[in-house]
Each structure stands twice: as structure tokens, then as C-alpha cells.
Chains A and B, each alone.
Chain A
């Protein structure tokens, strides 16, 4: 069973674990990682589903992490607890948003973990002319190469381009935490990266 076949059956809700799938999981660490990530997300989603709205701890964690990264600035006003019923009577719709933010932030942190040497260069103010590919990027390129080999080089070039965009935008946001324009760059850069992933995956699936 190939990675492509495994990931195809993974998306089918009725598919149970078969010997073939288990054998593939044992021999393929990227697919095993993928399944592990999906299970973790699924478990977290179930926890979120249990409450009517996200715990304040969730928001606090996100806020602290974003502040530590320097991606948001200190606000002078105290944050109103989300559990205040009079402020937001119906906040059920925030559940998927919270989940999406958590997943996106997890991906962001994972990316940084995968390219720590580069991150260290950013911290010291030295920008590398060559943008490294994160682990996720390498995995994505592998999938593209399996499905549409002709696209691999173009996607890799695009990934390097948007990674440079993200790198510069992150540094700009970090250096200028009160600059709205820097925040705009950051959003634009993430949008670009998200699009490359979306389109690459789109063409890599049957």
C-alpha cells in the first residue's frame, strides 16, 4: 500500500483498520505522524465540543503564546472574560474558530521547530538568502512528487518564496509590534503560504 492509497482510505469514514493499513503505518513514519496528529486534533475537538464555549484558559494560552512570539502587542485594557454572558450571549460559533486558531498556531510552532537554525538567524538579525524548507514542506513536496512530478519544482520554488515572505513578515512584526502595516504583511504572508499548501494538496489528491 502506498502513502497515497493509505491517505485516500483515511478520508473514508467507514474505513476500519486493516492489516494492510497497519503494516503501512508500521513502515511509514510520515503516515504514522499524520494519523497521530489527526487523533490528537480529534481528541482536542471532542474536549472543546463538551463545553458550550472555549475555556478562558484556551484564550489565555493563545494570547500568551502570541505575545511571547511578539505577534501581538500589549493591550492597555483588560480583556473581558468570554464567559461573561451579558457580553456575548451566544458564543457557540467560536468553537470551530478556536479549534482553527489552535491548529494554525500548532502548525506555526511546528514549522519553527523544523527550521530552528534559520529562526536563530532571524533573532540575531541576520537573514539567510536561502530559505530552508520546513519538515511539513518536505512532506508536501513528497506527496506532490508522487502524484504530479512535473509540478514539484514549481511548488518548491513557490514554497521557498512564501517562506521568505513569512520570514520577513514575522521579523517585521517582531521588530515593530505596534505597527499595523507589519501586521498586514504578516497576514498576507500567511495567506500566501496557506494558498500554496491548499493548491498543492488539491492537485496531489486523486
Chain B
């Protein structure tokens, strides 16, 4: 009998807590009609932002507000849509949180900014700019556009990016690139690790630079690359049999290797001050 009463009390408590939480949350939905190659900017202090493609010429944004200490300011000027979270007095990371989910035309350019994140973008063809302090950044299945990512501590993962103009800067977040290629792939980290797994295709320039973070690049045997790897204070390791370079490469100090594979269509530079560099064969 006592067990039944305890279970009933628990159920009531759960329902009450759920009701209180639900009452505190507010759901808002915004619709914007746009044309070809629209742009969307979402600025959020606290909370996740996720963007996916949708058919039709409109941008749909769903925002979940976690308290009345934060407001959402939508704005449209022509083909440019911006939505920002507006913190009111007394707001903190919990009460100022807003969760955003946006659907955009696949060719739209997207700028997402959240201090805490996470930030997520997928299946887009326009430019994508993602920025967050501690935000986990995950972007996948992006084509053709410029992809710029900036984080202070948040880890960054890019997956299936083709013909991208990629620039990633993070102070201490680890950066992982899976099947990322394009005319420019540039990664700059201070202490975070950099991991690239792909074929360095596209005849592009791949520049992976770190201060203390290790760099690990994995490529297939058929990769067509010219490689320069150099660590001033760290070790370098190479699994490939590289042909000597056309010109002599004389590093100023530290460990290095350089050479070409195949037709050397892409240029790969792996540079670290004190991190370990490893070019691995898949």
C-alpha cells in the first residue's frame, strides 16, 4: 500500500514539474518569404541553433524561449533575414536560453552565432558562417560555399564538404575534418588537435596549422598531393613514399618532410610549432 502511495506521489510530482517547465517555455514560429540566394543570420547568446534545408522559397524559424527574461527579435530586409536573442535584465545562461531550429532554401547563406551552442548546419549549398565560444560545431553535407568557423574552445567537426572554401580557427577546440575538399581548406588552431581524413582532392590548397596541438592527416594511397610538413619542436611522421620536391625545402629549424605523390594536384601544408605531425596512409 505504501509503495502505491509513493508511486502515485512520484507521478504527481513528475507531472507538476513537467507542467511548470512547459509553462516556462514559449514556442515561437516565424515565416519569411525570400527569393533566390537569401541570407539568414541568427545570433543567440545561450542555446543551440540548427539549420536544415527545406523546399520552397521561405525561411521558417522555430524558437523555444526558456523564460521571459529573453526575447527574440525577428527582422527582414529584402532577401536578408536576421533573428537575434535579446537578453533582458537578470538573464543568465539558463533563463536566457533560446533553442533555434531553422529551415532555409538550400542555396541560402547562413550565419549562426551562439556562445554556448551547439551549432549545426547540414545539406546547404550557400555560404555558412558559424561562430561560438564554447559551442560544439557540427556541419555536414555542404557544397560549393564558403564555410567559415570560429570557436574559442568549442570542438569543430566538418563532414562531407565538397568544393568548399573552408576556413576554421579555434583556440583550443579539437578540429575534425572528414571528407572535406575544395580550393582552399585552412585550419588554424592554437592548442586543439587537428585531424583530417580525406583525399585532399580538388587541386586545392590545404593548410593545417597549430601551435601546440597535434596534427594527424590521413589520406589514401592514390592522393595527388605536394606535401610540406614542419614542426619546430615536435616530431613529424610520414607513412608515404614521397618523391623529392621540385625545389629544395630547407626548414629553418625542427623536424620536417616534403615531397610529392601522384601529379601533386593539391598542395598540403602541415605546420606546427610543438605539436606532433603525422601523415597517415589509409
Contact = CB atoms under 8 A, between A and B. Distances in A.
Q: Specify the main secondary structure of chain A where it touches its partner.
A: helix
B253 interface: yes
A154 B253 contact: no
Contact of B171 (A150, A158, A172, A184): A158
Interface residues of B, number: 28
Interface residues of A, number: 29
Interface string B141-182: 000000000101100000000000000010110000000000
B66 interface: no
A165 B190 CA distance: 7
A130 to B, nearest CB: 15
Most buried by A among B133, B228, B253: B133
Contact of A161 (B171, B209, B230): B171
Contact of A191 (B134, B152, B169, B253): B169
A154 B153 contact: yes
Nearest to A162: B190
Contact of B211 (A157, A164, A175): A164
Q: Specify the main secondary structure of chain B where it touches its partner.
A: loop
Contact of A192 (B190, B207, B274): B190
A188 interface: yes
Interface of A: 150-151, 154-155, 157-158, 161-162, 164-165, 168-169, 172, 175-176, 178-179, 181-182, 184-185, 188-189, 191-192, 195-196, 199, 203
Contacts of A150: 93
A172 B269 contact: no
B95 interface: no
13 contacts: A151-B115, A154-B152, A158-B172, A164-B211, A165-B273, A169-B273, A176-B253, A178-B252, A179-B251, A181-B251, A184-B269, A185-B271, A192-B169
A53 B232 CA distance: 40
B232 to A, nearest CB: 6
